[in-house]
Amino acid sequence: MTTLDATHNPTLRSWVESANVAGTDFPVQNLPFGRFRPAGTDEPFRIGVAIGDQVLDLKAAKVVDHADMNLLMAATPAERAALRTALSEGLQEGGAKQGDWEIALYPQAAVEMALPCRIGDYTDFYTGIHHATTVGKLFRPDQPLMPNYKWVPIGYHGRASSIGVSGQRFKRPQGQTKAPDADVPSFGPSKRLDYELELGFLIGRGNDLGAPIAIADAEQHLFGVTLLNDWSARDLQAWEYQPLGPFLAKNFASTLSPWIVTMEALAPFRAKFERPEGDPQPMPYLDSPANREQGALAITLEVWLQTAKMRDAGEPATRLTRGSTTQAAYWTAAQLVTHHTVNGCNLQPGDLLGSGTLSGPTLEEAGSLLEITLGGKQPMTLPNGETRTFLEDGDTLTLRGYCEREGAVRIGLGEVSGTVLPA
């Protein structure tokens, strides 16, 4: 588990003035990594660190000598700590690097972001117990959670090729669906297109095939956290998913935020990880004192919607829900890493583990429209009078995340947004 050091000092300020503004996602205590290039060019993407409303070009700042994020992510914990310290010291008010690094800054408004790394394999988990319970109730009122849910961190493989960075615009998927009262399926655009509010954990150092990662070591293999929208076509999924799981209902698009907030940056925002009274304790391979003491992450997550009509009228997005990951996840990121590898499966730098939909215990904290509208039965009314059961063409959906705690400086995960185009 990462510990607090000088880089977390809440009194630190940066010579980049926008990093000291209250409410910024990217104060000098954050220092997330992303890949960028000057907007409107076709230059190769390079590694940058977000600071206030600027990006520091790590190669121009002579901090790294390459542009390969996956290589950077494969660093040892000691190398990562050293890099973070160097960035913190260089960007601090009064730091000796100001003269050299000022010319390596780009305004975020003037850059294009890529996916933060090459994602070899993408695994999506199902740690949101309130989501699993609410969705399960729609299908199985008597037994919302499967018997394995509190024992096995349920997960499945997702599609890496269709993951895009924030700003992704994708066509509404077409496919087979079958109405409950129909004899045969029909074909057409999905009528129940939804979002899913997730965290995306990115792997740093990998493991060899056949060499599981023990729970005590799992955090060392996590590089950082992003926001992930796991778009879902509920009607395609209902017809296709038996017996091998979701497929075309998910793989038409998934959208990731551009900045990886490191596990080091999240150190002040760890929380106890406790099982509800009466629930089974995790099996020994998924249990450790450190995981119990501070395995959870305290991140606040928000979902915002801007419809085409709102955009045309110049109206801002409206917030649909807000909740906390501490309330939502039944398994920690470390448990996901250990479970994923316990059979010998190898993880590689840049692999993505989705948390699953992180809904809180109430509908005000729900992470999908399926939950908010009770399976599409209860439309939601927006401030401009429009209603939604599921997403409509032209809708832009944005996820935001941030961490706040007494005695620490607020840090943010930035945002991930995506827009639905007609089929």
Annotated binding site for substrate: 126, 140, 237, 241, 357
Contact status: 275 vs its own copies (CB under 8 A): no
Contact status: 282 vs its own copies (CB under 8 A): no
Instruction: Say whether the peptide bond before residue 243 is cis (omega within 30 degrees of 0).
Output: yes
Q: How far is the CB of 281 from its own copies (least distance, A)?
A: 11
Q: How far is the CB of 151 from its own copies (least distance, A)?
A: 5
Instruction: Report the distance separating Cα 388 and Cα 238, nearest Å.
Output: 20
Of 83 and 163, which has the nearer Cβ to its own copies?
Answer: 163
Of 45 and 247, which has the nearer Cβ to its own copies?
Answer: 247
* DSSP conformational letter for 110: G
Of 62 and 171, which has the nearer Cβ to its own copies?
Answer: 171
Q: How far is the CB of 169 from its own copies (least distance, A)?
A: 9
Among 344, 362, 364, 387, binds its own copies (CB under 8 A): 344
Residue 109 CA: distances (Å) to CA of 40, 49, 54, 279, 288: 12, 14, 8, 48, 43
- Supply 299's token pair: 């991140």
Q: How far is the CB of 250 from its own copies (least distance, A)?
A: 9
Of 150 and 322, which has the nearer Cβ to its own copies?
Answer: 150
Going by their DSSP bridges, the two strands 163-165 and 254-256 should be labelled as: parallel
CB 36 within 8 A of CB 106: yes
The catalytic position among 8, 66, 130, 131 is 131
**Is 157 labeled as catalytic in the residue annotation?**
no
In the window 105-134, what residues touch its own copies (CB under 8 A)? 120-121, 123, 126
Q: Compute how many other C-beta atoms are within 10 angstroms of the C-beta atom of residue 241.
A: 15
* CA neighbor of 48 nearest in space, from 10, 4, 16, 7: 16
| Rounded to 5°, angle at Cα 24 from 307 and 46 | 85
Stretch binding its own copies (CB under 8 A), from 250-258, 266-274, 359-367, 376-384:
250-258
Contact status: 170 vs its own copies (CB under 8 A): yes
Q: How far is the CB of 229 from its own copies (least distance, A)?
A: 15
* CA neighbor of 353 nearest in space, from 175, 126, 188, 161: 126
Q: Compute how many other C-beta atoms are within 10 angstroms of the C-beta atom of residue 222.
A: 22
- Supply 269's token pair: 């925002």
Instruction: Report the distance separating Cα 144 and Cα 142, nearest Å.
Output: 6
* CA neighbor of 295 nearest in space, from 256, 266, 324, 262: 266
Of 27 and 367, which has the nearer Cβ to its own copies?
Answer: 367
Stretch binding its own copies (CB under 8 A), from 74-82, 145-153, 269-277, 381-389:
145-153
Contact status: 178 vs its own copies (CB under 8 A): yes
Of 23 and 280, which has the nearer Cβ to its own copies?
Answer: 280
Instruction: Report the distance separating Cα 305 and Cα 316, nearest Å.
Output: 9
Q: What are phi and psi of 214, to 5 degrees?
A: -65, 155
Contact status: 180 vs its own copies (CB under 8 A): no
Residues that bind its own copies (CB under 8 A): 120-121, 123, 126, 146, 148, 151-152, 154-162, 164, 170-171, 173-176, 178, 184-185, 187, 209-210, 212, 233, 236, 239-248, 251-253, 280, 283-285, 339-340, 342-348, 351, 421
- Enumerate the active-site residues: 131
